Structure 1
Amino acid sequence: MSQDLIRREKLYVGLLTGIQFFNILDFVILLPLGPLFMRTLQITPGQFSMLASSYSLSAGIMGLIYSLFADSFDRKKFLLILLSGFIITTLACALAKSFHFLLIARILAGIFGGIITPVVYAIVTDLIPFKRRGRAMGTIMATFSITSIFGIPTGLAIANAWGWRYTFFLISAGAFFASLLIIKLLPSIPVTKTINTATEKLIKTFKLGLQKHFQLPFLLMMTFTASGFLLFPFLSPYAVKNIGISETEIKYIYFIGGIFTVFSSKLTGILTDRYGSMKIFFPALFISLPFIYLYTHIENIKLSSLLIISTGFMVMINLRFIPVMTLLTQSPSINERGAFMAILLSLRSFASALATAFAGYLITENQMGKLSNFDLIGNISICLSLIGLLLFLRLNNNLKKERG
């Protein structure tokens, strides 16, 4: 095996990991920046939820559209087009001086950023042989955790020092630099066009989505996604307005939570492979419920106490999703897997957008400047988690019957 080939593969993975880092950071940084947005733009919790959900909604729609022409263009050229749009729309976020301008910029950012991830995975599949692809995919997937540990705290520190606009300037600059490296170092990746038209692909995807045995997996995904995204957008605003920490202390929540999530995720994946989804899902789910209740009901506690609760919340919400995803991937056959995952991820985006919008509708700001009804949102999230438990049990039983 050529060492030059392995070095090139590592270079390609490194380039794509860099792209993913800035892409994911652009998506997630809005949530911890919530208190700054609400203060500087003087927007309500409902308006902030619209900002948080707009990206996911446009990304979900574009994900379905992308599935129709995914194999029709040179992947390198298509990635560069997406990165150009991503850089421009992220710059627009940095330059926004009103809620409506920022909302439009976030919608457009979701259109480009939402497709970058599946294109990156497709390029990894094209360039990395199967026997080394697992490690490459693992590196790309670890970007989310890396972003939580390094990207979010850095972005928040920049926002606290110079303003939130400079965080988006940084993301744009980083993506621009990564684009230059892609132009110079990533090879052209032409694709073999299939005889299927977009209409034929649309009909195939639509038929698959309507199949009865896929409705339960889709509903399970949407239930647990909604359970989490009822809470995620308002973790930072609630911590500042109700719990009483300062805006400059928010970064510690994500830094410490990210570190513990990285190590616990790897261990949970190993345990899920060894003992099965069911045995890991039950304890992860039931341990997560007290943390949901505590975070959404506490007020006026010390930062050290909050970090214990917030870290437990982040870790357990993430851990319970690992056996869920493992179970969901058993639902489609090999020939159905691509369309199934495209629909599944789009529904995940839709569910996160709807849950965020619903939370923003219920949460209000009282005369003292505190958020009201976040405890109600926490109770709804717990109820959805328990409904998800029933769906998980039913899907697990159905898959057992199918396997005979």
Structure 2
Amino acid sequence: MYSFTASAERRLLWLLAFTQFTVIMDFMVMMPLGPQIMRAFDISPAAFATAVSAYSWCAGLSGLLASIYIDRSDRRSLLLTMYALFSVSNLVCACAGSFEVLLIARAFAGISGGVMTSLIMAIVGDVIPSHRRGAATGIVMSAFSLASVIGVPVGIALGAHFGWSTPFFLLFGLTLVIGLIGYWLVPSLTAHLAGGLRPFSRALPDLLKLITEPRYRPAFLLSFSLMVAHMMVIAFISPFLVANHGVAPASIAWMYCVGGIAPFFTSRLIGRLADRYGHRRVLQVMLLISLVPVLFLTHLPPLPFWAIVLFFPFFMVAMTGRMVPFQALLTTVPKPQARGAFLSVNSSFQSLGSGCGAWLGGMILSTAANGAITGYGTVGWIAAALALCVCAGTAWVATYTRSSDPGPDQITPTGAIQPDS
């Protein structure tokens, strides 16, 4: 473990949170901009889902490849390099003049951004002791709320007044600033290299072994399933409200702003509860709670816009709240020296699940003659069923019990599935 002062630890965590903020905003802003993008390029919901999925699928594949090298280098160097590539991807996306170029730009963003989440979580796992990792994960996950409260509303407003590409120009500027701060603030992080490196010729066989490791397979499967359930619903909130409930695209900004305020505070609270009562138990509770807002939103009755705005915070708290203990639980699955590779592969499964969820949702939805989107209720029921499956499947995720993150020889395996010796 590293020895950071409390203030240095907080600065690093908040820098990682703001880094994650730009990655999440880059992904999230595409969804509420859906109506403008569909009009600008004259595309269907299914084609728009392909644009959303392109990022996720490329992020998943790049994350798998990253697992080969993510534990072989200084975390700082890799973080800064991938973030620079991610910054360039936003500029390319902002300059896209056709739907085909937009697809290529989103794929490029996925290739670079896909590595960032697993790398950030690996740094959290390396730096923060296990007994405080839930709260630290809550800080990093609060980036989702920041993106909802600030990033997405600002992006929607800019897109409504100056064109859909404006938010991506904004992201390009933000990533430049945050990247420079990271260059100055992030120290060298090489403790995970202390045990030595296996020959690079073993990288691909080790990746295949990691993916097929029986103790890891339940975690990978649940990660994929949860993100399918997540994105089936979230990717089409804005098009559904605009087409079926007459909400103006510019007004969506207020909904995301109000909806994101509550998770900004509850993410850290849920993280502390997970540390106190157990990541698995809190995850199961949040999964069950999330069923109510998911089914209500996908079967939304005619309501005034102010009522939708008041409801949205409950939806956001539930969806974010189930990801905080889930991410914290995942950091306890691998041994420290394999944490980066494990989280990279897991992030890949989450990205592939996101892409499949958006794509599957787009295939289920259709546009009626009057312009309304149909099939969103069916999407909700499938997402709820998947959440229940994840809730039941958490019993099969194996974890390790650590005492202030001791060395590998002191790790004691626990959980429903016993790890290999």
TM range, smaller chain:
0.7 to 0.9
Cα distance between partner residues in 2 of 1:250 and 1:163 = 15
Correspondence for 2:33: 33
Cα distance change, pair 349–390 in 1 and its aligned pair in 2 (3 A): same
Determine which structure has the larger helix proportion and give its number: 1
Cα distance change, pair 284–33 in 1 and its aligned pair in 2 (3 A): same
Correspondence for 1:22: 22
Aligned pair 1:92/2:108, yes or no? no
Cα distance change, pair 210–373 in 1 and its aligned pair in 2 (3 A): same
Listed as ranges, the matches of 1:211-250 within 5 Å are 211-250=213-252
Cα distance between partner residues in 2 of 1:39 and 1:47 = 12
Offset, 1:330 = 4.5
Offset, 1:316 = 1.5
List per-residue Cα deviations over 1:13-50 (Å, max 9, x = no partner).
Answer: 66555433323321221112112111222211011111
Can you give the 5+ residue segments of structure 2 that lack an aligned partner in the other structure?
400-413
Cα distance between partner residues in 1 of 2:17 and 2:49 = 29
Listed as ranges, the matches of 1:114-125 within 5 Å are 114-120=114-120
Cα distance change, pair 11–291 in 1 and its aligned pair in 2 (3 A): closer
Cα distance between partner residues in 2 of 1:181 and 1:291 = 38
Match of 2:385 among 383, 386, 391: 383
Correspondence for 1:256: 258
Match of 1:321 among 305, 310, 323: 323
Can you give the 5+ residue segments of structure 1 that lack an aligned partner in the other structure?
none
Offset, 1:91 = 1.4
- TM-score computed with the length of structure 1 as normaliser: 0.86
Offset, 1:52 = 0.9
Cα distance between partner residues in 1 of 2:8 and 2:284 = 43
Offset, 1:364 = 1.4
The size of the alignment, in residue pairs, is: 399
Listed as ranges, the matches of 1:4-403 within 5 Å are 16-73=16-73, 77-120=77-120, 139-182=139-182, 194-277=196-279, 279-395=281-397, 399-400=415-416, 402=418
RMSD over equivalenced CA pairs, Å: 3.3
Cα distance change, pair 300–129 in 1 and its aligned pair in 2 (3 A): closer
- TM-score computed with the length of structure 2 as normaliser: 0.82
Letter in 1 for 2:381: N
Comparing 262-271 and 277-286, the one that deviates more: 277-286
Cα distance change, pair 177–47 in 1 and its aligned pair in 2 (3 A): same
Cα distance change, pair 339–81 in 1 and its aligned pair in 2 (3 A): closer
Cα distance change, pair 8–281 in 1 and its aligned pair in 2 (3 A): closer
Cα distance change, pair 83–139 in 1 and its aligned pair in 2 (3 A): same
Cα distance change, pair 375–131 in 1 and its aligned pair in 2 (3 A): closer
Whether the 8 Å contact between 1:244 and 1:301 is mirrored in structure 2 is: no
List per-residue Cα deviations over 1:169-193 (Å, max 9, x = no partner).
Answer: 1111222233344556666778969
